Amino acid sequence: MALNFIRTGTGEPLILIHGIGSELCVWEPVIDRLASGRDLIALDLPGFGHSPPLPDGVDPTPAALAGAVATLLDELGLDRVHVAGNSLGGWVALELAKANRAHTVTCICPAGLWGRPLTRATGPTQSPARLAARALAPALPLLLQSESLRRLALANFVAHPERVPAEAARRMVSSYARATAYEATSFAMRSSFFTGAERLDLPVTVAWGERDRLLRPAPLRAPHVETLTLPDCGHVPMWDDPALVTRVLLAGSSRTLAPTAPAA
């Protein structure tokens, strides 16, 4: 399958992976800031944005999504890269690390660290909020001109909806409305949790939004993890503080492990 992506910038390759119900446009506030120091590849996960879903019969688990990203890396002639992800994208980044495809991982408000399944449902269910977003899709360009309506639509995701321009807000809500794999991916995500952190022998940075309304900070018990707080930021902090998120991504993708001392 061919994933939709954009590529820009110079330097070491850095993959940017969005969260559930989103697409690569969420990285827009930091793309130009990062491009002078990184070869950026921002992608749409299978069934989101302009990427086709996974093949029939393949559950869209975070590991399966990571496999699709690994296939893209193969197509681009890339072996191991720096990987960053937001929410579900953070979990996918960790799965890529487990598959030995990452030099470093930077997780921004990562999903999957809840330690137990979050649902007892036996299958995907329709989201009322998504149904409403789809019904309102033709009117979104007009509705989201209103700062108060942008605040209502985005308050669960960003701490400062007033900082999101109307067109960017429209793209964010439209991404959520049209994601063909949303329900199946949400079910797969909520039915499981990330395991294998103890095997991550690489630098991992985990950054939590101080004002995240969707996820509470949880520990990642990996050997080389650094945990940060993003002050005054929500679950999708790229619009809340793009300069801070840029610094975190640059620092996270610059980390190296201290050399191991030779045995006596």
CA dist., res. 15 & res. 84, Å (int): 6
Helix (H, G, I), strand (E, B) or coil at 37: coil
- Residue 87's domain spans which residues? 5-125+181-252
Beta strands in the chain (DSSP E): 5-8, 12-17, 38-43, 81-86, 102-108, 204-209, 225-230
Residue 129, pLDDT score:
74
Asked whether residue 57 is domain-assigned, the answer is yes
Please determine, for residue 78, whether its predicted confidence score (pLDDT) is greater than 60: yes
Which strands sit side by side in the sheet containing 102-108, from one edge to the other?
5-8, 38-43, 12-17, 81-86, 102-108, 204-209, 225-230
Helix (H, G, I), strand (E, B) or coil at 30: helix
Asked whether residue 139 is domain-assigned, the answer is no
Please determine, for residue 88, whether its predicted confidence score (pLDDT) is greater than 70: yes
Q: In sequence order, what DSSP letters do the residues of 119-160 get, joined into one string? A: ---SS----HHHHHHHHTGGGHHHHTTSHHHHHHHHTTT-S-
Please determine, for residue 53, whether its predicted confidence score (pLDDT) is greater than 60: yes
Please determine, for residue 205, whether its predicted confidence score (pLDDT) is greater than 60: yes
CA dist., res. 18 & res. 86, Å (int): 5
Per residue in 133-188, pLDDT (tens digit) is 777 778 887 888 888 989 988 999 999 999 999 999 999 999 998 899 999 999 99
Per residue in 249-261, pLDDT (tens digit) is 999 999 999 775 5
Asked whether residue 130 is domain-assigned, the answer is no
Mean pLDDT of 32-57: 97
Q: How many domains does the chain have?
A: 1
What is the model's pTM?
0.94
Residue 95 is given by DSSP the state H
Closest CA to 247 of 237, 259, 234: 237
Whether residue 203 contacts residue 104, with contact meaning beta carbons closer than 8 Å, is answered with: yes
Asked whether residue 27 is domain-assigned, the answer is yes
Asked whether residue 165 is domain-assigned, the answer is no
Q: What is the CATH number of the domain that holds 195?
A: 3.40.50.1820
Helix (H, G, I), strand (E, B) or coil at 246: helix
Asked whether residue 160 is domain-assigned, the answer is no
Asked whether residue 134 is domain-assigned, the answer is no
Asked whether residue 117 is domain-assigned, the answer is yes
- State which H helix or E strand residue 172 sits in: helix 166-178
